[in-house]
Amino acid sequence: MLKEKIEAALNDQLNFEFYSAYIYLSMSAYFESIDLKGCSQWMKAQTQEEMLHAMKFFDFIAERGGRVMLKQIDSPETQWESPLKAFENALHHEGIVTEKINHLMDLAQQEKDHATQIFLQWFISEQVEEEASVNAVVQRLKLAGDNPGPLFMLDRDLSARVFTMPASGSDPT
């Protein structure tokens, strides 16, 4: 059985993953509005990643005999000054997610909840990838500066990103 403290913290993270999905879907809409279809597609795939993360928490809470409690999801921002600002915002957001996952791990360790620690291990590795992939785009946008050529090339490259559901569904193993 899950301890109440852990159950509450896992539910909070579940909510935050849905919030992340919302932020990236809002960024996708922003990129659509400025005709950067590749960036929009990249953000759509990122949204699906976040939904998968949320569902991993959902399944884990249920599997451990806990109760999933869905909460209100905050409204995301809708407008950014530039593509670079949007991706910088995404990078900042991923830093917050990493901190939250680390705090969850600290709590699971304090509470000697070994199963939750093993579950969170996947997210700790995932966050390294999440930050790296957003940062790679931030760096290319910085290099592109105000030049439309490199920006359109980047947009074309980002259009190739597709979300693929892992073969094991939402199973974190």
Give the interface with ligand FEO as residue ranges (CB under 6 A): 17, 20, 50, 53, 94, 97, 130
Tokens standing for residue 31: 């990129």
Name the residue with tokens 């592109």. 144
Question: Given its phi and psi angles, is residue 169 left (phi above 0), alpha (psi -120 to 50 degrees) or beta?
Answer: left
Of 116 and 151, CB closest to ligand FEO: 116
Between residues 47 and 151, which has the closer beta carbon with respect to ligand FEO?
Answer: 47
- Nearest approach, Cβ of residue 121 and ligand FEO (Å): 15
30 in Cβ contact with 80 (< 8 Å): yes
Choose between 152 and 163: whose C-beta lies nearer to ligand FEO. 163
CA pair distance 68, 23, nearest whole angstrom: 22
Q: How far is the CB of 168 from ligand FEO (least distance, A)?
A: 17
**How many Cβ atoms sit within 10 Å of the Cβ of residue 138?**
17
Supply the minimum distance, in Å, between the C-beta of residue 21 and ligand FEO: 8
Q: How far is the CB of 161 from ligand FEO (least distance, A)?
A: 14
Q: Which of 160, 138, 153, 161 is nearest to 83 (CA)?
A: 138
* Alpha-carbon 73 to chain mean position: 14
Nearest distance in Å: CB 57, ligand FEO = 10
- Residue 111 in contact with residue 6, Cβ under 8 Å? yes
For ligand FEO, which residue has the nearest CB? 53
